[in-house]
Structure 1
Amino acid sequence: MANVLIFYISLLLILPCVESCLTPKYLYVPVSRTIPAGYKVTTVNVADCDVKSLHLTLTDQSFTINTNGEIVALTRVYVPARGRTFSVLAQDDSGPENEMEVHLVYSPLQGKVLSDQRFLKRSKRRWSPPPFNLLENDPGPYPKQIEEIVSDSAAKHRVYYTISGPGVDSHPVGVFSLDPNSGMLIVHRAIDREEFPVFTLTTRVFDKGTKQETDLPLDIQVLIDDVNDNTPEFSSPLQFTVLEHSKAGTVVGKVNATDRDKKGTLHVKIKYTLLTGLDLFAINPETGAITTVTNTLDREIKDKYLVTVKIKDFDGAVQGLERTGTATITLGDINDNPPTFTKASYEASVKENESEKLILRIPVEDKDLINTPNWISKFVITKGNENGNFRIDTDPKTNEGLLYVTKALDHEQSKNVKLEVMARNEAELSNTQARWQSIPVDLTVTDVDEGPEFSAPTIRFTVKENTPNGTLIGRYTAVDPETKSSNDIKYYKVTDPASWINVDRNTGELRVANTIDRESQFVQDGVYNITMKAVDASSKTGTGTVIIQVEDVNDNIPTVPTSELAICEKEGALGSVVIVAEDKDQSPLSSPFTFSLPPDSDDKWSVTRINATAATLAHTKDLPRGLYKVPVVIKDLQGHGGIQTATVRICQCRNGVCLAEDRSVSLGGLALLAMLLPLALLLLLCLLLVFFCVTKRDKLEFEDTGDSGGVLLKSNTEGKGDEVDSSLITVPTIGVDQITKGSVKDVNAGWPGIKSTSTLGGQSVHGNGINKSCVDMQQFYSSQYDQYDQYGTQQFGGQFGQLGSQVLNSGFDSRHLVQDSAFLHTWQTNGRYLHQKLGYLGTEEDGRYADDIIHAYGFEGVGSAAGSVGCCSDFGDNDNLDFLNTLGPKFKTLADVCTKT
């Protein structure tokens, strides 16, 4: 080892500085296995360099270099058995960048030297020193031992080691392993630095007996050293554009390339080279910027160039890896070619009086890029268009010039027109000595037979409004342009919106036809227009416009709006409102206005002008709420005016609006309809009630034939009854006393076994002897009496004889009732009869009437005003009528139902 060290030292002294300011080109430095942070590794000789402009850099970031050439370790560095290599790069103003390779060679002798320098200080952690370095893609053989990891606790314990982390038990699994007994770290396969640049492994040590850790866990870093195994690649498309005729040195574009190897090393230092196109382009070897070397690039000759670019790492050294690519350089267009005409001059003809008509196409050629501002033509008429009779456009498809006549020409005034047309581009000319071109255009105006022409296209007359009808305004005449004569020309109105003017057909005189009103809607800014037409003998026409300037006269007085003005009532204060007047006349025939009250005003109001058109109207006394018509005298500046009535409402307000007005405003058409609809429904209901009542009365009203004379009376039957001959019915004579004291059975004895069908109050009643099925006689009498009480005696009329006979004589024919004129001749007699009878019945026993009143009466339908009769009881021999006392007092009024005789 001593001989090896002497060899290295001799080599350092012998190697001279040949061409570079860094000497030697390769430097070998013996070091120990671990270099502590702050240790000065070596000093590089920079004596031959320009110290003022010198810039030194290192490719290994674990070290730094001072300006005097000293290389110092920044961190703790591990040197593997095969050594460690990095480069020193130097750049000064005296020449190109220089490089020196520094090889750190492991030497056991250096351990003592480093200890003597006291840089290696024992740390508290009692483990072997990390990290370890492995060369990427090492060919092997595998497995390969790296280094032993030994804990100081092995001196006191029988220990074993474990390891974990990426490369052991996590991705990528199986790269490393650790001998548990010796602590030897082993690698099992090659590693790609671009995929795994570093591995951090965790090592633990345990006592074999107790299985307890004997030292703290240790994190070990395995650094993968880079080798130049990646070829540089282009990182962006090789497509560039540069304008034609650019100056030499103009940047075309920049070639971008990348290398996957370790940053900061020569493995990624790329050198750029052009292999073709060197006569036109150049490339910066360090930045990859492509520039032009000539200003003769012409797009119209060649618009695209293909050049080959080579990129090579290791700064282009022989051992570097390279790649080539083809760059496409396209020349951009500039406007270095003006448009050129295909002919030296052009001729065309145009008819007089024609307008907006294409008369000529002018083609041009341009070498610049099509459909760009450098190619698109723009034509200008530089001479001959002083009157604006022409315009020239560009056809967007063919790039031709389109010459139009826009204003009619007159053959009699000019038979020939000479124009000059220039062709330009939208873009200005650039980098050329050429100029815009112009050509002459000769136009011939051909003659046509024309219609008459008015003396001027428009004529103006001033007329005061309200001018009397028939007043002459003026004359508007025309002449034939060919003969310059007005003979045989007729004049007509084309438009006259308000029919204010009459035109004399032969002379063209204009007269007032109707009252001219300056305030009319047909007058705009005091101007009223009519259009006239002149027609010659050949029916050709010419038109003109008559402008009538209407002068104002003071024919309007100031007025105020007719709408209500609201004065909001305020407690303890008098209100006011602003009235605004308007006058349709113009100044000075209108505002400023004067406001005053009539001489006969009642001193309840006052008026004060606040500006030219408005005044304040205020009440001077407390006035009740309501609507007031206040006369106000308003006059214009000329004193022309009169009394105007201002409608003012004094009211309670909410937000400045009268409450009543607010409510009225809220009622729309639908609200009014909703209010009227209930009234209409109520009216319809009343009509229906009247109809039903009249109909019901017609059904229940019976004809009162007066004294029946003891014959059968018609009942209000719902169907046609059997006609009975009155001579066949024998009417017994029964006295009042007999009926009062006797029983109902005795009264009924005169008509034994008679079947009866009767209509009582709209209900049909049937009787056939004695019917035991109906026992509720009290309910029957009570219901009959209630119905009588409801409708009254006037409605029942002569039905009482029928009803009373049915109550007292349930067995006889109820359809034809026989009344004895001896006791039914008046209403009073029947009333006294019933009262006497009822008093007698009240003294009888309960069983007196049981056999006499049970009779059945059928129900003939619904709708009767009297309701159903129900059923009757069968009276027995018992004369006791006490049950009548339980029927209530209303039953006594049945006496009023007797038919008047």
Structure 2
Amino acid sequence: MPERLAETLVDLWTPLIILWITLPSCVYMAPMNQAHVLTTGSPLELSRQSEEMRILSRSKRGWVWNQMFVLEEFSGPEPILVGRLHTDLDPGSKKIKYILSGDGAGTIFQINDITGDIHAIKRLDREEKAEYTLTAQAVDWETNKPLEPPSEFIIKVQDINDNAPEFLNGPYHATVPEMSILGTSVTNVTATDADDPVYGNSAKLVYSILEGQPYFSIEPETAIIKTALPNMDREAKEEYLVVIQAKDMGGHSGGLSGTTTLTVTLTDVNDNPPKFAQSLYHFSVPEDVVLGTAIGRVKANDQDIGENAQSSYDIIDGDGTALFEITSDAQAQDGVIRLRKPLDFETKKSYTLKVEAANIHIDPRFSGRGPFKDTATVKIVVEDADEPPVFSSPTYLLEVHENAALNSVIGQVTARDPDITSSPIRFSIDRHTDLERQFNINADDGKITLATPLDRELSVWHNITIIATEIRNHSQISRVPVAIKVLDVNDNAPEFASEYEAFLCENGKPGQVIQTVSAMDKDDPKNGHFFLYSLLPEMVNNPNFTIKKNEDNSLSILAKHNGFNRQKQEVYLLPIVISDSGNPPLSSTSTLTIRVCGCSSDGVVQSCNVEAYVLPIGLSMGALIAILACIILLLVIVVLFVTLRRHKNEPLIIKDDEDVRENIIRYDDEGGGEEDTEAFDIATLQNPDGINGFLPRKDIKPDLQFMPRLQKRLPKGNTRE
């Protein structure tokens, strides 16, 4: 056993010793070719064994590398040596053949199957592919049987500085408020470099400004752009162009660079006050201009923009502050002067105003520069105009009693021409407001008189319109409303508020209230109605009823005794005198009808007529109606029977007082002898009373279908055709 263990150790360490001897030559070749670096490591343990490897009597050995390097963009007359494959197997008398497979094998990388040297036959680009994974295998030259299992290794492409920095999002735009302090951050821009950031300085960038100084600066490493001058004024220059450079290799000479542009715009701040374009404005306006009309416009200019230029306008002084107002026009940024109250040329011909424009949005940073406002003077001249007449009052209220006499003066309206050349005025009533022509007006002095009688109970108010017209210019007219109130006089006597009818129970008690009545008066006294009730003098000692005045201005009628009997007297009439409290007082007599009724024990009225009283107790109203219907039906039958009986017994001979001329019927057919005598009653011809006509037999109906024509109706007293 010790001998076999020693033999195994010899077999294991012998290749390592050989590799250590050959390693210096490999390391020496790497710097010369600048293409590869070989590294050593522990032998790789085989995880899988093929059937062919099982027949090998020797122990498996591992490869002596794990990665190689090759420089990108290398070009030369000969392929570049990347590295050499070498196994730790003892070659002995056998020859070893090396096989390469994987990424780029045969197309990019080529291997010498005898020596194991690997060459790059194409130009490589790290930015296109940074590393390649290949598989190496050693086989027997003659049998092609694997001597080692396949093993992967990596060839990494080493970076060179072949890519310039790029600003992918340029050109750039940024803003910064004007008047900013020194070092205010504007923005930051970044460039990208496709070179390897972890190998050398190929991707280490340094930023600088090529154009845009001395206004802006940039931090070399972070690319943060800041203001380099304080208090830059937008009103002086609003936009700046900055050219920025990014250079790799840490900014050293030989590095590659890229540039971009940045447009910096200064945003506005409210650092300028408004300023009126002129210090004095002149406007003229006719005195009859409509209220609310724009008189003129004033404008204060502001070098700022947007909301920083918005100003509010006010009238702060002058003798026309009550007549004029100024409003701000947000669109035009000016002030509009408008008329608030009517002008009168004859009273005042000019006005002076002092207007102010002040910024709405104040920036506290610049409030110390002074007031952000300005003032100007406005002179307004009033022009004369032909004005319509002016009434002494905008409305008139007149009062008249309803019993006023016709043509009496109710009131008066006055008007004047406000112009300097005053014109006489004529007055008239707009008849559309006085269709019934109840009022008249004096055209010269405006006195209103009564044309027809008035009745307050029909209409309390009358609203008319008075027209004033200039005599010199009929187009100048004015109108004024006149309200005429009709005052009440006591011309209506009081009366019952409604048609009252009282019911008195036969079993009522003395002092029982039969009915409560109230009165009404069409008049309208100032202190309200107060009525006095009394009985007629001859009814003061009425034995049956008495009256009682209530606090609510109503009257109660009371029974003096009990034992009323509707068989003795069914209805009582009680006249009541009602007087008002007018001056002079008026009165009227209203009669209350009191019916005596049969009532239940609890005072509910059941019947108020004598017939119902004598009927048997317990007979319902439905039974009474049925009996009445039967009686009416019997009467109808009797009348019909008598009528039919009378017609049946009526004689055939015409009486003297009957006029039978309308019953004559003419026949054109010839006589039939005996047949004719059978058809007509000969006795009728012998009757002296039948001279003026004949009465047709009632037992024979004439055959009208053979009548050729109708007999004309003769005048009265003539029987001829």
TM-score computed with the length of structure 1 as normaliser: 0.39
